[in-house]
């Protein structure tokens, strides 16, 4: 969506004019008819409320919208995003092609928050929809900010980079598995990062086999699609400073392998690469806004299929770390991908800290529903930073325990460990598994975002489908703790 800025307060020529109002503070210049209309419609300016009316100006009928931003409090930024998102939801397919956003009374950061919410809510994946009726097609394509305050353009430039990262993640997650698979995921990233200053590279199957990545390769061996280990480097911080590494699970389609999933709902498993998608999108945001931090994204990309070469329940594989794993369930594949990716990242980059993101367990959805991502961490300071970043960004997290009692549940009688424990505590034992591959003394966090990357209904700043969850918490974490 194109955004332009105008310091003048002239809205003449605009067909749709929008204003942002605080709760219980209607504009003083609102005419009597509209003031009565807001009362009749019970519009008070609550966050996300929209009131619409029509006025005549210079012989032209103009559409006027008031969007509520709630009370001016601690959650002001999120409320302003909801105001912008509400405008997008209402007018995206309205026939209007542009909105004149009257920014009078807003500061630069507030304007950027409104625009961020508007743009994120306006994203929709229509690439394969060829039979939309005219009233279903997107028409809204431009926002003209009127009476823009000083600094609004610069504030929006930062948030625009964030929006582009979220949109890129949504695109990767929403595309079908015959379009996004390990090789094409890498190709999409190479094309999208061109000109950003980030360095994009990858390891192929031969390189990974030479390195001994038996766990990751065991997952991919049943597929005709070749695996990839994608690496995205952004070194915008102090030269020589140890980087923070984000590792993403990228199972581009997950049948469950030989431990095959039920047919009903299996189509959803195109988004089992949501962790890798979030890492790629976050890295794009950081590169576009030239973040002052050393950050590296590593994505283990595989497809989990059940053909005659596929890994079997009962197989024992040797990970890059040298630890052996008895594969009890081939549908617990994400941790096998992550363990080799994390091992390689530690050996290659000697990171200051490692944070992985993965749609790892259905048990996480049972625990938290679709309201929070799960957080597991071996370092209290790192956990606190991530929890704060989640609250500030809206990508909320909830911390779970790690303990030796849980660790015992994945001991194997014939190998160093099993890839699953008992039914109870499934998200915790999955995290305990990953922790076994984290070097001593390395701060590490695991974000299980299984319930968050896809939505069955629209949310505050997303439509039904891919949410882009994970990008914003990474971006906020980098802003608040690394820059």
Residue ranges, CATH 3.40.630.10, the chain: 160-482
Catalytic residue among 25, 209, 261, 399: 261
d(CA 75, CA 79): 6
Q: Helices 334-349 and 426-435 meet at what angle, rounded to 10?
A: 30
d(CA 131, CA 177): 22
Residue ranges, CATH 3.40.220.10, the chain: 2-150
Of the candidates 398, 397, 389, 399, the one whose C-alpha atom is nearest the C-alpha of residue 472 is 389
d(CA 55, CA 38): 14
CATH code of 160-482, in short, is 3.40.630.10
Residue 335 a catalytic site member: yes
pTM above 0.85, yes or no: yes
d(CA 3, CA 120): 13
Beta strand 50-57 with 244-254 is unpaired
Where does 148-293 show beta strands of DSSP type E? 199-203, 228-235, 244-254
- CATH 3.90.700.10: does it fit domain 2-150? no
Task: Determine contact, residues 243/235, Cβ cutoff 8 Å.
Answer: yes
Output the tens digit of pLDDT for each of the chain's 483 residues. Answer: 999 999 998 888 899 999 999 999 988 888 888 899 999 999 999 999 999 999 888 788 899 999 999 998 768 999 999 999 999 999 999 999 999 999 999 999 999 999 999 999 999 999 999 999 999 999 999 999 999 999 999 999 999 999 999 999 999 999 999 999 999 999 999 999 999 999 999 999 999 999 999 999 999 999 999 999 999 999 999 999 999 999 999 999 999 999 999 999 999 999 999 999 999 999 999 999 999 999 999 999 999 999 999 999 999 999 999 999 999 999 999 999 999 999 999 999 999 999 999 999 999 999 999 999 999 999 999 999 999 999 999 999 999 999 999 999 999 999 999 999 999 999 999 999 999 999 999 999 999 999 999 999 999 999 999 999 999 999 999 999 999
Catalytic residue among 82, 228, 335, 385: 335
């Amino acid at each position: 969506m194109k955004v332009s800025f105008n310091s003048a307060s002239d809205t003449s020529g605009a067909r749709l004019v929008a204003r942002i109002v605080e709760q219980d503070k209607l504009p003083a210049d609102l005419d009597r008819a509209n003031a009565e209309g807001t009362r009749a419609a019970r519009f008070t300016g609550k966050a996300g409320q929209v009131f619409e009316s029509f006025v005549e100006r210079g012989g032209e009928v103009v559409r006027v919208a008031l969007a509520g931003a709630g009370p001016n409090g601690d959650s002001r930024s999120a409320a302003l995003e909801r105001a912008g998102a509400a405008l997008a939801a209402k007018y995206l397919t309205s026939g209007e092609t542009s909105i004149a956003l009257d920014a009078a009374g807003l500061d630069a950061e507030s304007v950027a928050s409104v625009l961020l919410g508007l743009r994120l809510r306006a994203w929709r994946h229509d690439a394969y929809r060829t039979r939309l009726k005219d009233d279903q097609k997107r028409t809204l394509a431009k926002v003209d900010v009127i009476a823009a305050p000083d600094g609004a353009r610069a504030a929006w430039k930062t948030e625009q980079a964030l929006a582009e990262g979220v949109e890129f993640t949504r695109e990767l997650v929403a595309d079908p598995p015959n379009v996004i698979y390990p090789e094409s995921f890498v190709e999409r990233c190479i094309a999208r990062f061109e000109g950003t200053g980030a360095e994009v590279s990858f390891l192929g199957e031969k390189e990974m086999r030479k390195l001994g990545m038996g766990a990751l390769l065991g997952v991919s061996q049943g597929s005709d699609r070749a695996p990839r280990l994608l690496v995205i480097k952004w070194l915008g911080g102090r030269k020589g400073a140890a980087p923070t590494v984000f590792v993403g699970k990228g199972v581009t389609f997950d049948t469950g392998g030989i431990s095959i999933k039920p047919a009903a709902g299996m189509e959803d498993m195109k988004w089992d690469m949501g962790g890798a998608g979030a890492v790629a999108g976050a890295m794009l945001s950081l590169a576009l806004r030239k973040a002052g931090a050393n950050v590296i994204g590593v994505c283990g990309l595989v497809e989990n299929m059940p053909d005659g070469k596929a890994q079997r329940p009962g197989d024992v594989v040797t990970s890059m770390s040298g630890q052996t794993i008895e594969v009890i369930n081939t549908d617990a594949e994400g941790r096998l991908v992550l363990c080799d990716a994390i091992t390689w990242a530690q050996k290659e980059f000697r990171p200051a800290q490692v944070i992985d993101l993965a749609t790892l367990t259905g048990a996480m959805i049972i625990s938290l529903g679709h309201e929070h991502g799960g957080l597991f961490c071996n370092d209290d300071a790192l956990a606190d930073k991530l929890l704060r970043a989640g609250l500030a960004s809206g990508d909320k997290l909830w911390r779970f325990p790690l303990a030796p009692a849980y660790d015992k549940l994945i001991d194997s009688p014939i190998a160093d460990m099993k890839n699953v424990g008992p039914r109870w505590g499934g998200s915790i034992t999955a995290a305990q598994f990953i922790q076994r591959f984290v070097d001593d003394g390395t701060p590490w966090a695991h974000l299980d975002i299984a319930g968050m990357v896809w939505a069955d209904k629209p949310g505050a700043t997303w439509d039904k489908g891919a949410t882009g969850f994970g990008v914003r918490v990474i971006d906020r974490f980098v802003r608040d703790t690394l820059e």
